[in-house]
A and B are shown apart, each in its own frame.
Chain A
Amino acid sequence: MKTTVSRRTFIKGGLAGTVAATVLQEKKSQAATFEGYPDGMGVLVDLTRCVGCRSCEAACNEEQKLPQPEKPFDDFSVFDEMLHGQKRRTDETRYTIVNRYDVPGQEHPLFKKVQCNHCQEPACLTSCFVNAYTKTPEGAVIYNANVCVGCRTCMIACPFYIPTFKYSSSFSPRIMKCIFCYDTRLKEGRPPACVEACPQEALTFGKRNKLIEIGRQRIRETPDKYEDHIYGEHEVGGTAWMYLSSVPFDQVGFDTHVPKEPILNSVKDFLSIVPMVLTIWPALFAGFHLLATRKDWLKNKNEDTHEEE
């Protein structure tokens, strides 16, 4: 029977094929280098606007139902607190903190808000061997305490020293970290509590792609005011929370030596040898065994043939 293909079906099939090929190819390239979800949200932190009022800290504390701190949120003596020569950091009682930096040559001190930066390809997630972390399409890096074993590798891996451990608990310890208010707000498209609480508009919530444009625009419009760099655009492969500053970033507590690619990339050398060892070693060492014991084998064989004779 002769089969004919009409022009219409031919075009349909061709189109479907092309679409499938593009989609499949896209998936492939995504697996090789994941550049983040296209609609992922983020926050742009503008250090030039922050006045260190700590409203964000208070809002976070309330939203995440964290314990009341010893000093109230309107006590600014906390900016002078030092431990081991370090300024304040996140811990099991606070997911975000603001630190003050007195930069020489600046009229006003600068304030830097610290929280999870919600990386595009998070080191905590890629280092976790029980998949306790998830990067949601909305942009948040969330954590599942129900599967975590408490090995704290994520704390080793995080280049920003963000995840903290609830050391005080023996029976229900867990990782404590900012989750971008995912459960209560971000999921519904609302900005996190800290952003909403900011009276200075130092925190801008929006799609990450859009925020990079806004950041560039601010730098372009007032180049004297800003360093020509958006911290987090490329750092560790890009982060959802990004920063603008009026002074070099290393003067306000940023690690400018973090790699410009995801942390996972430095682990890939090892990961790629794993299948090699698994497949090559058995043959190689079985071969060594045969070579090493060949003399014994020949001897046995000769003895056998002698016996037969």
Chain B
Amino acid sequence: MRFFSHQRPEIPIVDHIKPDGTQWTIKEKLWLGLSSPEYFKQFFRNPINWLMIAIFAVGAPLILQRYIYGLGAVTHASNDYPWGLFLGFGLFGMVPLSASGFMLGTTVELFGRKDFHPIERLALLNGLLGYFFAVLFLEVDLGMWWRLPYPMFVSLGPAAVLFLVAWHVATYLSVQIAEVLPAFFEWIGWLKGKRIIRKMVLGLTISGIILSTLHQGALGALFTYAPAKIHPLWLSTNFQWIHFFCSSIFAGLSMVIVSSTLIRNFAGWRCDDVFKNSLDDITIKLGKGCSLAMITYLVIKIVAIAHDQEWAYLLTGWGSYYLLELAVGVVLPMFMFAFAVRNNMASLARFAAFISVIGIIWNRLNTSMIAYNWQLYPEIPHWKEVWITVTIYALYFLTYRFIVYRLPIVYSWKGEK
């Protein structure tokens, strides 16, 4: 794509009108202003796309197998470990990484920090896609996936934590769609829609905070149903929801740093100067937020151990593993962020964000799979389960890239807004 954007001044598309005065059609916008041979040429020149093709070549038949022969055909069908990678990674990992939407929505719209504006849309999109794909992962995992709306409309169990998760994720997904729609409306040129959303933005943002607080917390609270099964270090029945909520703050911020870094480095042609020039500054500021959230998280983690009198566990093998998780996943990036903020080193903050994203996924997998049934035996997922997880994640990557290439997410629309 970089090649074409150097050759042709009208590409990338940032306006409704071509240099010759005619309008871009939606179809042309979808093809990025290229002819289809040109489009495929650039598509197949990219090695990442070949990797994607390889993943899908194996993954698509596996997904088909799951839907024809049941979950047992692609997983170990364990009754001891009812939740595997689809939820452990797909739901419990993707959702905290998608907290970016409500975090930056709040910062910009509610606290009036306009300096974060260039990254707001990316954060919202990151949130929307993360949630959407978490639901997609859930759809792979649910036994009766066609009954997804049951908890909403057919048979309601409002006293269950999962009821809260279902309702909040569903409503929050709609809120996030509404928040990302203005970018879409600009792109298709329907400004009335954008004005309607503009009027609702404060309400949307506040409901975003409420729903996020509750369902990020609720995902943690789901594990309090298994007080006798999860290792005590990973489960604090009193504070689990705060742990999950608090860690989602730096998870979301770190994810948006990672995502913006990738976009700047590999899709630089798509970014406008405002985005590119402000990104280092914004990254440092986000890093500051991360380090503050991390120290808060660490303190609550220690409070939980003190509250449940679990110091002795720290001296066991599980304790070492727990401390390793905290040291690598939280303490290390926390100091890196702090150092980066002090010395104005954006690239160090980016590296820290990358570690912290891995750290949060590690924590969620530890809670849902590794420390779960710690007194029984470890479950190693079936390779097909791993491959399907990777395939859905690849689909997430492709969708993400597809939208960032087109909609005004990391650039501003030049036409009327």
Question: Which residues of A approach B to under 8 Å, CB–CB?
Answer: 84-86, 89-91, 123, 126-132, 147-153, 155-157, 159, 161, 163-170, 173-174, 255, 257-259, 263, 266-267, 269-271, 273-274, 277-278, 281-282, 285-286, 288-289, 292-293, 296
| B162: A residues at CB distance < 8 A | 127-129, 151, 153
B240 interface contact, C-beta 8 A: yes
**Complex contact B228–A127 (CB within 8 A):** no
Q: How far is the CA of A91 from the CA of B155 in the complex (A)?
A: 26
Q: How far is the CA of A163 from the CA of B238 in the complex (A)?
A: 26
**Complex contact A285–B209 (CB within 8 A):** yes
Q: How far is the CA of A132 from the CA of B79 in the complex (A)?
A: 18
Min distance, Cβ B157 to any Cβ of chain A, angstroms: 4
How many A-B pairs fall under 8 Å by CB? 182
Q: How far is the CA of A288 from the CA of B202 in the complex (A)?
A: 12
B60 interface contact, C-beta 8 A: no
Binds A, one of B26-34, B218-226, B348-356, B393-401: B218-226
**Complex contact A157–B151 (CB within 8 A):** no
**Complex contact B225–A157 (CB within 8 A):** yes
Min distance, Cβ A159 to any Cβ of chain B, angstroms: 5
| B240: A residues at CB distance < 8 A | 270
Q: How far is the CA of A269 from the CA of B162 in the complex (A)?
A: 15
B227 interface contact, C-beta 8 A: yes
B110 interface contact, C-beta 8 A: yes
CB-nearest residue of chain B relative to A157? B225
Min distance, Cβ B248 to any Cβ of chain A, angstroms: 14
Q: Could you say which of B162, B209, B218 has the most chain A C-beta atoms within 10 Å of its C-beta?
A: B162
13 more A-B residue pairs beyond the given contacts A129-B157, A266-B225, A267-B225, with a C-beta to C-beta distance below 8 A: A89-B79, A128-B157, A152-B82, A153-B162, A159-B229, A164-B79, A170-B71, A266-B227, A269-B237, A270-B221, A271-B221, A285-B110, A288-B110
**Complex contact A282–B206 (CB within 8 A):** yes
B255 interface contact, C-beta 8 A: no
B241 interface contact, C-beta 8 A: yes
Q: How far is the CA of A273 from the CA of B164 in the complex (A)?
A: 12
Binds A, one of B3-11, B45-53, B140-148: B140-148
How would residues 127 to 141 of chain B score, 1 for a CB under 8 Å from any chain A CB and 0 otherwise? 000000000000001
Can you report 29 residue pairs joining A to B where beta carbons are below 8 Å apart? A84-B377, A89-B80, A129-B157, A129-B166, A130-B150, A130-B154, A131-B156, A132-B157, A148-B144, A149-B145, A150-B142, A150-B143, A150-B144, A156-B223, A156-B229, A159-B228, A167-B70, A168-B72, A168-B77, A259-B228, A263-B227, A266-B237, A270-B224, A271-B159, A274-B214, A285-B106, A289-B111, A289-B112, A289-B202
* Of the residues B77, B164, B217, B227, contact of A167 by C-beta under 8 Å: B77
* Of the residues B66, B160, B226, contact of A128 by C-beta under 8 Å: B160
| A89: B residues at CB distance < 8 A | 79-80
B44 interface contact, C-beta 8 A: no
B376 interface contact, C-beta 8 A: yes
| A163: B residues at CB distance < 8 A | 79
**Complex contact B79–A270 (CB within 8 A):** no
Contact residues of B: prevailing secondary structure: helix
| B112: A residues at CB distance < 8 A | 289, 292-293, 296
| A167: B residues at CB distance < 8 A | 70-72, 75, 77
| A129: B residues at CB distance < 8 A | 151, 156-157, 160-163, 166
**Complex contact A147–B150 (CB within 8 A):** yes
A-B pairs with the 6 shortest C-beta distances?
A150-B143, A167-B72, A167-B77, A270-B221, A170-B70, A152-B82
CB-nearest residue of chain A relative to B106? A285
Q: Could you say which of A127, A155, A161, A163 has the most chain B C-beta atoms within 10 Å of its C-beta?
A: A127
How would residues 70 to 92 of chain B score, 1 for a CB under 8 Å from any chain A CB and 0 otherwise? 11110101011011000000000
**Complex contact B70–A270 (CB within 8 A):** no
Given contacts A86-B377, A153-B222, A157-B225, contact A174 B143 (CB under 8 A): yes
* Of the residues A91, A157, A170, contact of B68 by C-beta under 8 Å: A170
* Of the residues A147, A159, A259, A281, contact of B155 by C-beta under 8 Å: A147
B213 interface contact, C-beta 8 A: yes
Q: How far is the CA of A91 from the CA of B161 in the complex (A)?
A: 26
CB-nearest residue of chain B relative to A278? B210
Q: Could you say which of A129, A131, A269 has the most chain B C-beta atoms within 10 Å of its C-beta?
A: A129
